Amino acid sequence: MLHLIQNKLDKALKLHPASFAHQYIFTGYGDGHILINQIRYEKNLIVMPDRLIEDWPVMSVSQLEVRHFEMLTPYKPEIIILGTGTTHKFPSQSVLSQITKMGIGIEVMDTKACCRTYNILVEEGRRVAAALLI
C-alpha cells in the first residue's frame, strides 16, 4: 500500500511505500525532478526494480528511437512504462510497434503517473522498466 503526502510549500509529492526491500522505487516527484529511494534525480533515466540506468540519452519524445530501448532486452522486462515529462505525449507508432515486436509491452503516460504506476507494478512483483523524461 502506498501512502501519499503532499507538501504544500514545494508542490512536490512524496510517495512512501509500505514495504519494498532492496529495490529501486519512487519516493517522490516534483517539477523537474524525481526521488528514487530518497535520492533526487534531475536527468532522464531508466529504473527497474534491481537496476538504475542514469543519464538516459534522450532529450524529447520526438527523438525516441527503438535503439533507446534495446539496452533493456537483456533484463527481460515484461513491460516498459514511458514517462513523457509533464504532459502525455506519444512516440512514433513505428517505435511503439518495434518495441512490441521485441516481446515487450509498452504504456505511455506523463512522468508523475509513470512513477505511481511503476511502484504499484513493482509491489505486484512485475518485471517493469520505467523510462523517464524528467
| Interatomic CA distance for residues 32 and 19, integer angstroms | 26
> What is the pTM assigned to this prediction?
0.83
pLDDT tens, 90-105?
999 999 999 999 999 9
Residue 116 pLDDT greater than 70, yes or no:
yes
Question: Three-state SS across the chain?
Answer: CEEEEEECCCCEEEEEECCCCCCCCEEEEECCEEEECCEEECCCEEEECCEEECCCCCCCHHHCCCHHHHCCHHHCCCEEEEECCCCCCCCCHHHHHHHHHCCCEEEEECHHHHHHHHHHHHHCCCCEEEEECC
Chain position carrying cell 513505428: 94
Instruction: Spell 25-39 as b/e; 16+ CB within 10 A means b.
Output: bbbbbeeeebbbeee
Residue 6's pLDDT band (boundaries 50, 70, 90)? very low
Give the pLDDT score at 32.
92
